[in-house]
Amino acid sequence: MKKALKWTGNIIFTLLLVMMVILVFFTVSSKFSQDGSSKLASYQLMVVLSGSMSPEFNAGDVVVVDAKKKTQYNKGEVITFKDPQDQKKVVTHRIAEVLQNGDQISYRTKGDANNTADSKPVPAANIIGQQKWHIPYLGRVVEFAKTKQGIVLLVVIPGILIIVGEFRRIAKVLTEEVEKRKREIVPEPAAKE
């Protein structure tokens, strides 16, 4: 039973630590990014804010975008791009049509859940990258972690629990070491003959 409790405690400790590292990474990296995304190598992680691509992915999911530029994208691929009408807005939609005007390539895009295509074609220069996969629901946790309550509940409290747990482990090891040294110093009673 004691071994099972120790094993469970180690799993909980590891999960808390991993959760804290992920949330701190998302929170800090998104604060320094212009578009609010987090970067990991050549990948950008972005929180989905609308349901325009449902059922492919939903609001509150995290989309992982390969930010390595390709020379051309194909119809049916899902791309993330700066909105041609508002460069501060980032959108992830599917390519409905590839448009070519001489050397200029642009893309007509459409959200899977939308009835019509987006009003303006997306110039190739506006493309951030191609969507590779998504992580359901993680965006909700990340967005909550950016609030004061989220920082307290998801970073500070688990951090305190980890620190307290480590102090308890250190105290236990020190106590065992002191007991061991006491036994070494105090001689065993001599056996009677």
CA atoms within 13 A on the CB side of 112: 14
Query: What average pLDDT does the chain have?
Result: 84
Total domains in the chain come to: 1
Closest CA relative to residue 37, chosen from 89, 104, 103: 89
Q: Cis link prior to 158 (omega < 30° from 0)?
A: no
User: Is the separation of the CB atoms in 10 and 162 below 8 Å?
Assistant: no
Q: Which domain holds residue 67?
A: 33-146
> Is residue 121 domain-resident?
yes
pLDDT digits (tens, 9 = 90+) for 61-98: 989 898 887 788 999 999 999 999 998 899 999 999 99
> Is residue 128 domain-resident?
yes
Rg (CA), the chain: 27
Q: Is the pLDDT assigned to residue 109 strictly greater than 60? A: yes
**50 belongs to the catalytic site:** yes
> Is residue 163 domain-resident?
no
CATH code for position 92: 2.10.109.10
pTM of the prediction? 0.65
More confident residue, 20 or 100: 100
**Residues above pLDDT 70, as percent of the chain:** 87
Query: Which band of pLDDT confidence, cut at 50, 70 and 90, is reported for residue 155?
Result: confident
For 77-98, give one letter per residue: b (16+ CB within 10 A) or e.
ebbbbbbbeeeeebbbbbbbeb
> Is residue 151 domain-resident?
no
> Is residue 176 domain-resident?
no
Query: Which band of pLDDT confidence, cut at 50, 70 and 90, is reported for residue 191?
Result: low
Query: Which band of pLDDT confidence, cut at 50, 70 and 90, is reported for residue 6?
Result: confident
More confident residue, 121 or 18: 121
| Identity of the highest mean pLDDT range in 97-111, 127-141, 152-166 | 97-111
What pLDDT, on a 0 to 100 scale, did the predictor assign at position 92? 94
> Is residue 137 domain-resident?
yes
> Is residue 120 domain-resident?
yes
pLDDT digits (tens, 9 = 90+) for 10-53: 888 788 778 777 767 766 666 555 555 566 667 888 889 899 99
**Catalytic: which of 37, 50, 52, 119?**
50
> Is residue 61 domain-resident?
yes
